[in-house]
Amino acid sequence: MNWLLLIIAGLFEVAFAFCLGKVKETSGLITKLWFGGFMLCLFVSMFLLIKASKSLPIGTAYAVWTGIGAVGTVLIGIFYFNEPATFWRIFFISTLIISIIGLKFVAN
């Protein structure tokens, strides 16, 4: 169950990064709404990380949480913000995914 909470927390980290990207692109009231979404996603992500880390090792939980956030944010950048999808970016994101999976298998 705590692994599921951790994955959801990582997805909310991706969501707050997406909201941050939209804040950068917008102005006026829309910016404030995206900022509100950013704050909500940040709160939920941190809350779930705290819940998951009560039974998982903090080093593993934090690494997996940031890894999910990093991979998801790069993918959001490529698909929604037209960032480049170069060979090296994809290569290093792939190694990060492999490392996240490895951490799950070696955690108690």
Q: What is the pLDDT of residues 11-41, one digit of tens each?
A: 999 999 999 999 999 999 999 999 999 999 9
For residue 88, which amino acid is it?
Answer: W
- Judge whether 70 and 17 are in contact, CB under 8 Å: no
The whole-number pLDDT of residue 93 equals: 92
Q: How far is CA 64 from the centre of its chain?
A: 9
The whole-number pLDDT of residue 86 equals: 94
How does pLDDT run across 68-105, given as a tens digit for each residue?
Answer: 999 999 999 999 999 999 999 999 999 988 988 888 78
The whole-number pLDDT of residue 108 equals: 63
Q: 61 pLDDT exceeds 70?
A: yes
Query: Could you tell me which of 22, 3, 12 has the C-alpha nearest to residue 77?
Result: 22
d(CA 22, CA 24): 5
The whole-number pLDDT of residue 37 equals: 97
71 is in which domain, residue-wise? 2-106
- State the total domains in the chain: 1
Q: Which two tokens stand for residue 96?
A: 């990060």
Task: Note the pTM of the prediction, 2 decimals.
Answer: 0.86
